[in-house]
Amino acid sequence: MTDVVLAIDTATPAVTAGVVRRDGDRIDVLAERVTVDPRAHAEQLTPNVVAALADAGITVNDLTAVVVGCGPGPFTGLRVGMATAAAFGQALGVPVYGVCSLDAIGVDTAGEVLVVTDARRREVYWARYRDGERVEGPAVNAPSDVPANAGAVAGSPEHAALFALPRQPAVYPTPSGLVRAVDWTAPPQPLVPLYLRRPDAKPQPAPVVTP
């Protein structure tokens, strides 16, 4: 069965949207639009989706599935992508598959590779992969606390540079990586964001009203 998949990720500074044709193990990227801006997820995602669909020469009615990166990532950016994916799925009546965004990077690596992305607060999100399969993580730690028991590092260039390991070229989740990270033999599960820690914003206590 051939699927035409909308792939979305907003877990990193890359606001990614792409259209991918999947036929069994064959993956063909029909179009992709990526804007690297950590503050532009809400503004750029929908235009990137619309542009990718136009570049691929299809309409939303041609889509048969949606794949979205579920993090780990910052609260605000992550929910933009996941809410958009859920809205497309509900409106079109197509399944929505959530994947770990680190997996969408790790699937493009070979050998023993540590994948890291920016978690802010001088920390990184990380996971370790063996020939594209995750074997440890995801987790969030200070770089000095991340077990660097790998032969190479990939992911955020700024944070990969903190590790004395050879670099692999995978940097951000790609549309093809997102689609390849899905277990297509299993039914889609409810979307669950991988925050790995509480959001920065905290609810204020209710004011005390004195009689």
pLDDT digit string (tens) for 158-206? 999 999 999 999 999 999 999 999 999 999 999 999 999 754 444 455 5
Contact 96, 89 (CB under 8 A): yes
Query: The tokens of 205 are what?
Result: 């206590």
Q: List Cβ neighbours of 46 (8 Å cut-off, separation of 6 or more).
A: 84
d(CA 143, CA 147) in angstroms, rounded, equals: 9
Contact 107, 181 (CB under 8 A): yes
pLDDT tens readout for residues 98-119? 999 999 999 999 999 999 999 9
* CATH architecture designation of domain 2-100+173-180: 2-Layer Sandwich (3.30)
The reported pTM is: 0.91
What's the pLDDT score for residue 208?
53
Answer CATH for 103-160 from 3.30.56, 3.30.420, 3.40.50, 1.10.3470: 3.30.420
Q: Taking all residues of the chain, what is their mean pLDDT, rounded to a whole number?
A: 93
- List the chain domain ranges: 2-100+173-180, 103-160
